[in-house]
Amino acid sequence: MPRPALRPASLPRRAPYVDRVPPEARTTRRRLRACHQCDWLMALPPLGSGEQALCPRCGHAEVRRHRHPAQRSLALALAALVALGLALSFPFLGFSARGVGHRIELTQTASELIVRHEPLVALAVLLTILVLPALYLAGVIWLQVGLLRARPLPASRLLARGLAHVEPWMMADVFLVGALVSLIKIAGLADIELGAAFWAFGAFVLLLLATSQSVDRDWLWFALAGEPPAPDGSRTGRPAAPQGLAGCPTCGLVGRLDAAGHGQCRRCREPLHARQPHSLQRTWALLAAAAILYVPANVYPIMTTTSLGHASPSTIIGGVVQLIEMGSWPVAAVILVASVIVPMGKLMALAWLCLVAPRDRRDRSLTRTRMYRLTEFIGRWSMVDIFVVAILVALIRAGNLMAVAPGPAALAFGGVVILTMLAAMTFDPRLIWDDPAGRLAPADEDAPA
């Protein structure tokens, strides 16, 4: 494809081609997108640095454009990996009480759970705070290096697909909040020492968040594989499914579906569906499993604290009450919201959405979609209690003087968090906007074209 002669004046003459010419300047065709949350078919407008394209029907951000996306993501990812390396090389936290002290490294938050016979919880901690973030950063570096060389490296498309699936499961920021909660919990019982790794991990969290926000997925996929023309007969300003179309959840490309409502993206090979198969049934099944686990998660102790030979088991609610008695009202509120209100609220919200989705009440579809977005966003923060247990189990090891052991509720509560996250991913929010009668409403009945 020939390169256009014009270039933005704000970019240097020798800027890499991937940054110098945005997708809108490389093609004269309209670039169509189908909203992943309401199925509205729209044409992307030309975007400048710092701008984003919102769905006119539900307000979902379809594309966010960044200045120098390749260099920005590469620099942030490299800095984040350096910070992670430092966080793994020095002591993370330390405590001392009555002449007895102990220091831990970051990886011990998982290894100590294995010693205490909680391998599944340890695996969840290790994956969410270290392994998946490291793989994500390495993938970003691999992709951006290929783009800056104007020759994508091997397996770039497969790797770009993987990044989209890994991102929701990175929880380093939640772990950092859990570390702060842990420190407040034991501040009155022992002297706390913040190691160099603690500050390095804080920098890693900020850089990881900045990296994930800097990845311009639309630009990335266009630079990797171009963009095939939209299917013939596509009409913007109305839903995509009644036209036999669907937007790829990974790269955004609009593709044609077969008679059964299935297909495959021509650009990234991701499966396409008019609606996720058996979305409501799978969501109900996951919610039922989460509700069953929610009972032992709150009835059984999540950890047991031993002080001077006396063991004191503590449930989630008991930990909140203990924090209130210590005068730590803000921390108690965080734990109460994250570990009690959020899981229960998420179960109720998703169950309600499953009940009302088949009903033809499109005047409330926007409100229901916003509820779904909130439910999807807050679900991961319930892991803060699991991370608190992991940190305290590794840190507080002073024999009969003081020790913390994980309780049976830790595994159950971790299962609740994971199952509710899967339930939110399985629920198809486009069902909220569907007409049960199968009628295709005029464009002005739902939203402006």
| Contact indicator for 410, 157 with CB cutoff of 8 Å | no
Helices 409-426 and 119-126: crossing angle in degrees, nearest 10, is 50
Q: Among 166-170, 342-346, 397-401, where is mean pLDDT lowest?
A: 397-401
Instruction: Please name the residues in contact with 287: beta carbons below 8 A apart, sequence gap of 6 or more.
Output: 347, 350, 351, 354, 419, 420, 423
Distance CA 274, CA 263 (A): 9
What is the spatial distance between Cα 88 and Cα 92, in angstroms, rounded to a whole number? 8
Identify which has the larger pLDDT, 267 or 15: 267
Question: For 33-51, how does the pLDDT look when each residue is reduced to its tens digit (9 = 90+)?
Answer: 999 999 999 998 888 778 8
Q: Which of 375, 377, 380 is nearest to 414 (CA)?
A: 380
* Banded pLDDT at 444 (limits 50, 70, 90): very low
pLDDT in tens, 255-297: 999 988 899 999 988 999 999 999 999 999 999 999 999 999 9
Residues 6+ apart with CB under 8 A from 115: none
Q: Does residue 2 carry a pLDDT above 80?
A: no
pLDDT in tens, 342-386: 889 999 999 999 988 877 666 688 889 999 999 988 888 889 889
Q: What's residue 448's pLDDT?
A: 38
pLDDT of 398 above 70: no
Contact 198, 244 (CB under 8 A): no
Asked which of 14-18, 73-77, 121-125 is least confident by mean pLDDT, the reply is: 14-18
Query: In this prediction, what percent of the chain has a pLDDT beyond 70?
Result: 86
pLDDT-based confidence at 126, cuts 50/70/90? very high
Query: How sure is the predictor about 424, in pLDDT bands with cuts at 50, 70 and 90?
Result: very high
pLDDT given at position 290: 95
For residue range 216-239, what is the model confidence (pLDDT) as tens digits? Answer: 888 888 888 888 888 888 899 899
Q: Is the pLDDT of residue 15 over 90?
A: no
CA distances 332 to 234, 339, 413, Å, are 53, 10, 18
Residue 336 — very low, low, confident or very high, per pLDDT cuts 50/70/90? confident
Position 439 pLDDT exceeds 90: no
Question: Which residue reads 């609740």 in tokens?
Answer: 416
Distance set, CA 339 to CA 8, 315, 379, 384, 449 (Å):
49, 11, 10, 8, 42
What are the C-alpha distances in Å from 26 to residues 73, 122, 145, 218?
Answer: 22, 48, 21, 13
Average pLDDT, the chain: 84
The pLDDT-based confidence of 5 (bands split at 50, 70, 90) is very low
pTM above 0.95, yes or no: no
For the segment 321-334, what is each residue's pLDDT rounded down to a tens digit? 877 876 677 777 87
CA 226 to CA 364: how far, in whole Å?
A: 38
Higher pLDDT, 107 or 24: 107
7 or 344, which is more confident = 344
